[in-house]
Chains A and B, each alone.
Chain A
Amino acid sequence: MASAFKFRVFVSLKKSVLDPQGQTILTALHHMDLKEAKSCRAGKFFDLEIEAGTQKEAEAKLHQAAKDILSNPVIEDYSITLL
């Protein structure tokens, strides 16, 4: 019997890749007086509902999707959490 498993996938640029968006946001934080902000990197997340027999099965499918489409492994890392 299949169940629907809910996950959140986070995608962000690899640490070795320049993130001008994150840097710009950091500057903006400084402008609004949050001088304590030392670093910022911007990313995105996807909330997905996957139907599968087990959570492991759902996760395996999701990892594949994360590598193949949700992230670009050349420049991005991803992580998955169960919701």
Chain B
Amino acid sequence: MKAVVIVFPGSNCDSDCFHALNQSGFEAQYVWHKETSLPKTDLVFLPGGFSYGDYLRTGAIARFSPVMKEVARYANTGGIVLGVCNGFQILLEAGLLPGAMLRNRDLAFICRHVFLKVENNQTIFTKDYAKGEVISIPIAHGEGNYFAEPSIIERLEKENRIVFRYSSERGDATEAFNPNGSQKNIAGIINEKGNVLGMMPHPERASETLLGSSAGSKMWTSLLNAVKI
């Protein structure tokens, strides 16, 4: 099962992605943002970091990188794409997912573990989780405040496309447990076809118990199972 980790100038979570994917059974390789073609792959991973220094807006310049035309084509033909943190921001700017990111409500950069509720365990990314399972995953961002017009939020809810929500340890997805002000505590969403997922928390940083949490590992096993079929 092959995976491609796209590297933009300023990406800094690419090594963690590479390591987590290889460790769980993928054969990962890096692809530099200037490439105009993708190798044959089962998964494209857009990692976290500060592509282009977050200049203009987070992900705003990376979405115009040459490789993104190929990523869009790959996604539009059903290829599996996962964007984490800056990767999610790039997917939003590229229009591969709806909505936009604002600066965190309290303006501070937040770097800590949070609890996420798995709202939708029917996606290829989350099949190995139980519905409503609460997991501990780290976040590290200054612009993770997800925003979309009310009609878009309504649609996401109706179509069950909100995959992860920030919550309490017991799974209460309320304002008190919303670290950054995201609409409806949204931490991760999926596209209509179910092949493109964007999330602000870092599952690749929660893939080894030794490093604090392995709650992210079920995303890799879910994906491996989906690809095998």
Contact = CB atoms under 8 A, between A and B. Distances in A.
Interface of A: 13, 17-18, 20-21, 24, 69-70, 72, 74-75
B72 to A, nearest CB: 15
Interface in B84-102: 92-93, 99-100, 102
Contact of A17 (B57, B104, B106, B147): B147
Chain B interface residue number, banded: 20 to 34
A74 B103 contact: no
B126 to A, nearest CB: 26
A76 to B, nearest CB: 8
Contacts, number: 34
B102 A70 contact: no
A13 B104 CA distance: 14
A27 to B, nearest CB: 11
Contacts of A13: 102
Main secondary structure of the interface of A (DSSP, over half): mixed
B56 A75 contact: no
A20 B56 contact: no
Interface of B: 56-57, 60-61, 64, 92-93, 99-100, 102-107, 145, 147-149, 181
Given A69-B56, A69-B64, A70-B56, A21 B103 contact: yes
B100 A74 contact: yes
Given A17-B147, A18-B181, A72 B105 contact: no
